[in-house]
Amino acid sequence: MDILWSVVWALVSALVVGVLVRRTISVGTGWLRNTVLSLVMGTAIWPITRASYEILGISQDGTIPWLEVSFEAAMIFILLFAWMVVIQMAVLLALELVMPSGTFTTLARAAVRLPSLYRRVSRLSQIQRLLLSHGLSRYMRPRIPSFKVSMREIAQATSEVFAAAGVTFVKLGQFVASRADIVPTEFVEEFSKLQSDVPPVPYSAIEPELVKIWGRPVEEIFAEFSKEPMAAASVAQVHPAVLHDGTEVVVKVQRPHIRRQVKADSDIIHTLAERMENSAGWARKIGVRGIADGFLESLAEELDYRGEIRQTEQLRRAMDPHRRSVVRIPAVYEHLSGERVIVMERMQGVPLSKADAVLGQLSMLARREIARDLFLLVAGQVLETGVFHADLHAGNIVIDDAGRAGLIDFGAVGRLDKRDRRDITLLLLAFERQDSTAATNAIIDIFGMPPEGDTRKIQREVGQLLLQFDAGMPGGSSGLFTALLQFVIDHGFELPPAVGTAFRAISTLEGSLKKLDPEADLLLMVREHMDELLSRTQNLGDAVEGLGLYAAATVPVVAGLPLEISRVVKQLEDGSLDIGMKGLSIDVIRDLVGGVLDQLIQVLVAIALVLAGVVLMAADFGPSLTPALTIFTYFGAWVLLSGFVLAIVVLAPALHQRRFK
């Protein structure tokens, strides 16, 4: 019975101690450590109390008055219980200093992640070996000031490492090659050579993924499904198939386990980018960390096909239904598509990059019609709707024997707001009309004025650029947008990402148009279709609506101006106008000083209580509470305890602030 009573007493004591500790301080009182210490303290309270009773002469022959507790015994027990609470608080704060709250949880999670951590470390070691073997590691250290770093050398070595490191790093290189606005030319040229030569995944590995996505066998959805892919890339592969109603489709399915590989490589890319930018000046100069972050964000979007599905349907709906065009955008079967698979209408034909034989059978009139309709489609996307296909290279344009074309792969899509769309339209018209003033105004409106920019000087240089790209001269507008990008970069303009994407898209389209029609000229097409472009981009109804919105937003501000002016004048008259400083005010200063003074006073009081408690406990005189304990000593123990409690209460917030800094 005594053992059962002791266990119950220990549990009740542990509960009371734990609650009191958590009520007094909040730092370091994690449930695990607080529970363990409460059980220890609760179990130890009664043995310590009995020993204290014997020392102080309260109990004789080990008998304890369970039911009729004496006044002296109760007083000693309450004091000891209070000290156990204070000791537990002090131990918890000491543990917080050495081992902050959450350490055990972190260790437990780390133990669960050990296999993935091992794979990550192994992969990182592999990448570091590649850096060493290709001689790139010497460029990741601070250089001797007199030693000139060769950007071409660095670009070549990095390209070799990316090619050897696998698909994620190849895609990183391809992404870098698309950022000619911020990346040195040497990197763009070397990384543009990167290609991902990836063998297709066997159908036996793809089929379980498709069954898991659709929840039923592939045979129930398709009448035919080719086990051999018609195309394979680093992230996905494409299989031709036929629905039960006879419709030919293509199934773009993500490679199994590609997300796990990309996630591991993404962590490594982020780590390497931080290391390079912290240690190498050339990496800071080109902004390696920003490029890496942009790539990782782009890759995360690419791995979720739902965005591509929305973008494909958005571009398809934006096509003018009243205009006959030989260029089509495939329909998406949304009920069969999702995060890792897309089922869409099959575009007949071959990619423009491999269509020499098909183009050779088409008349020049048919080829020019495809080029014209392709230009009008993309011009409408960029200049009218603001959502456009951002990667129209020859591999993403399909041509068939009948002289029809189709666009594929809508993973890369750009977006432009109304003002940028208007400015790009004006810029094209200004180049077509050789108007340097209008072109300069459009450029400044798009990119802003560079620091210490000279408007007249910029206008003269724009005029020289206009003369190089005249729609009536041999060569015409070939390379216009590439030259514009270089002009913007060379003159220190800030290039908005959306506009940079649009310029690169039009520049890429220009190359595809040239493959269709070697005499295709972007500015001549602008001239031929000027009225149509203007009617689509400068709609009178939109202008009136925009003016109405502007007026609605401006009128309340104008109406409130007299009242605001009157308020400022009144404050000037009575001297109450407060200019103020951001982030600094009398209230802030008062709160800061008040808080410091409060803490200082609490510390001084705590020190005073501790000293007073020590003095009282050392005093060996006064009435006796027990045969071996005086009232002054007992009271001194309480004063000392109060000093410790106050000190802990002051220290706890400081630990809390230290933890969350």
In a shared domain, residues 99 and 130: no
Q: Domain end: 92, 108, 124, which one?
A: 108
Q: Is 503 a domain residue?
A: yes
In a shared domain, residues 102 and 121: no
Instruction: Give the count of domains, the chain.
Output: 4
pLDDT in tens, 208-240: 989 999 999 999 999 999 999 988 877 888 999
Q: Who's near 568: CB < 8 A, 6+ residues apart?
A: 577
Q: Domain end: 66, 84, 108, which one?
A: 108
Answer yes or no: is pLDDT of 473 > 60.
no
Q: Is 517 a domain residue?
A: yes
In a shared domain, residues 53 and 174: no
In a shared domain, residues 424 and 507: yes
In a shared domain, residues 94 and 142: no
Answer yes or no: is pLDDT of 520 > 80.
yes
In a shared domain, residues 364 and 498: yes
Q: Domain end: 515, 538, 561, which one?
A: 538
Q: Is 247 a domain residue?
A: no
Q: Is 621 a domain residue?
A: yes
DSSP count for the chain of H helices, then E strands = 26, 13
Answer yes or no: is pLDDT of 241 > 90.
yes
List, in sequence order, every residue forming a beta bridge with 630; answer none if it has no partner. Answer: 624
Q: Which residue has the tokens 């002016």?
A: 565
In a shared domain, residues 422 and 529: yes
Q: CB of 416 within 8 A of CB of 424?
A: yes
Q: CB of 92 within 8 A of CB of 25?
A: yes
Residue 572: CB atoms within 10 A of its CB come to: 10
In a shared domain, residues 364 and 481: yes
pLDDT in tens, 570-591: 666 666 655 554 444 556 566 6
In a shared domain, residues 287 and 412: no
Q: CB of 186 within 8 A of CB of 217?
A: no
**Type of residue numbered 621:** F
Q: Is 90 a domain residue?
A: yes
**Type of residue numbered 242:** V
Q: Is 212 a domain residue?
A: no
pLDDT in tens, 304-335: 888 889 888 888 887 876 678 888 899 999 99
Residue 161 CB burial class (10 angstroms; 0-12, 13-18, ≥19): buried
Of 170-184, 287-301, 436-450, which gets the smallest average pLDDT? 170-184
Side-chain half-sphere CA neighbours of 3 within 13 A? 0
Model pLDDT, residue 611: 84
List, in sequence order, every residue forming a beta bridge with 629; answer none if it has no partner. Answer: 626
**Type of residue numbered 376:** L
CA-CA-CA-CA torsion sign (426, 427, 433, 436): positive
Domain that holds residue 76: 2-108
> Alpha helix locations (H) across 448-539?
455-468, 480-490, 497-516, 522-528, 530-537
**What string of DSSP letters covers 337-395?**
--SSEEEEEPPPSEEGGG-HHHHHHS-HHHHHHHHHHHHHHHHHIIIIISEEES---GG
DSSP, collapsed to helix, strand or coil, labels residue 59 as coil
Q: CB of 486 within 8 A of CB of 469?
A: no
Tokens encoding 57: 């002469």
In a shared domain, residues 74 and 120: no
Model pLDDT, residue 7: 63
Q: Is 320 a domain residue?
A: no
In a shared domain, residues 433 and 524: yes
Give the percent of the chain with pLDDT over 90: 9
Answer yes or no: is pLDDT of 547 > 50.
no
DSSP, collapsed to helix, strand or coil, labels residue 326 as coil
Mean pLDDT of the chain: 76
Model pLDDT, residue 37: 73
Q: Is 224 a domain residue?
A: no
In a shared domain, residues 484 and 608: no
